[in-house]
Amino acid sequence: MRATGPTSAELSDRREEILAALQQRPDVHYLAGTLGVTAPRLRRFLRAWGIRPPTRGDARRRRDGLQHCCICKLDLPLTAFYTDRRRWNGAATRCRGCWPKYQNTQRVFQSYGLTLADFQVLLAAQGGVCAICKRAATPGTDGKLRRLHLDHCHKTGALRGILCSQCNTALGLFRDSPDLLQTATTYLLKAMEDNCVTQTSR
């Protein structure tokens, strides 16, 4: 006895029609009802086609002409996103502003053979802060978040730890030389002592 509703082949033949309907109204339950299938079955088909089924939040944002960025967590106009044909609405999940940061992060992780989970483990071992100044990634004066960087040895390429932008840059300016850093420390300590003596004698 044949099951009620369209067959898998019939649904596949109507793929473009189904995707177009989702763009007009991103409601899986409504569309499943018009197709004569259950919502779970329709979701399975969408995933098999490489498309993430829309959520109720997507439906609300679609009515407002918006899309949610998974990086900056903002609801932005669809024009703020690159095209992604795998998505039900044809828009990527990351806005144009966040995309370069995402791509750069992915390339950096891949160059060290790390995953995001590996990075989080390393950061947790440091207490969630920069290994030198012990500060977390906090917003700067311009409102942008100061990122934490993977620090590596420029001679061997070995990963050393996670640093904030300022400390990572500082090591580079000192050419990763402990001798230079020690000389700079001695210079600062002497300058501080001389300054204290001078101010006290006035």
Instruction: Summarize pLDDT for 24-42 with one digit per residue, the tens.
Output: 777 788 788 888 888 888 8
Q: How far apart are CA 68 and CA 85, in angstroms?
A: 16
CATH class of 114-189: alpha beta
168 has pLDDT over 70:
yes
Q: Look up residue 52 and give its amino acid.
A: R
| pLDDT for residue 123 | 84
Instruction: Summarize pLDDT for 81-111 with one digit per residue, the tens.
Output: 877 766 666 778 788 888 766 766 776 777 7
pLDDT category at 183 given cuts 50, 70, 90 is very high
Instruction: Summarize pLDDT for 125-135 with one digit per residue, the tens.
Output: 988 888 999 88
Q: What is the 3-state secondary structure (H, E, C) of 23-36?
A: HHCCCHHHHHHHHC
Residue 51 CB partners (closer than 8 Å, separation 6+):
19, 86, 87, 88
Nearest to 181 by CA among 192, 170, 169: 170
Report the predicted TM-score, pTM, of the whole model to 2 decimal places: 0.46
Burial 90-105 (b: 16+ CB within 10 A, else e): bbbbbbeebbeeeeee
pLDDT category at 187 given cuts 50, 70, 90 is very high
Residue-range domain boundaries for the chain = 8-95, 114-189
| pLDDT for residue 57 | 67
139 has pLDDT over 50:
no
| pLDDT for residue 180 | 93
Instruction: State the angle between helix axes of 15-24 and 28-35 in degrees (0 to 180), rounded to the nearest 10.
Output: 140
CA angle 65, 69, 75 (to 5 degrees): 40
15 has pLDDT over 80:
yes
Q: What is the mean pLDDT of residues 128-156?
A: 71
- The percentage of the chain sitting over the pLDDT mark of 90, rounded to a whole number, equals 8
| pLDDT for residue 145 | 45
CB 163 within 8 A of CB 148: yes
143 has pLDDT over 60:
no
Give the count of beta carbons closer than 10 Å to the beta carbon of residue 46. 20
CB 148 within 8 A of CB 130: yes
Write down the mean pLDDT value for the chain. Answer: 78
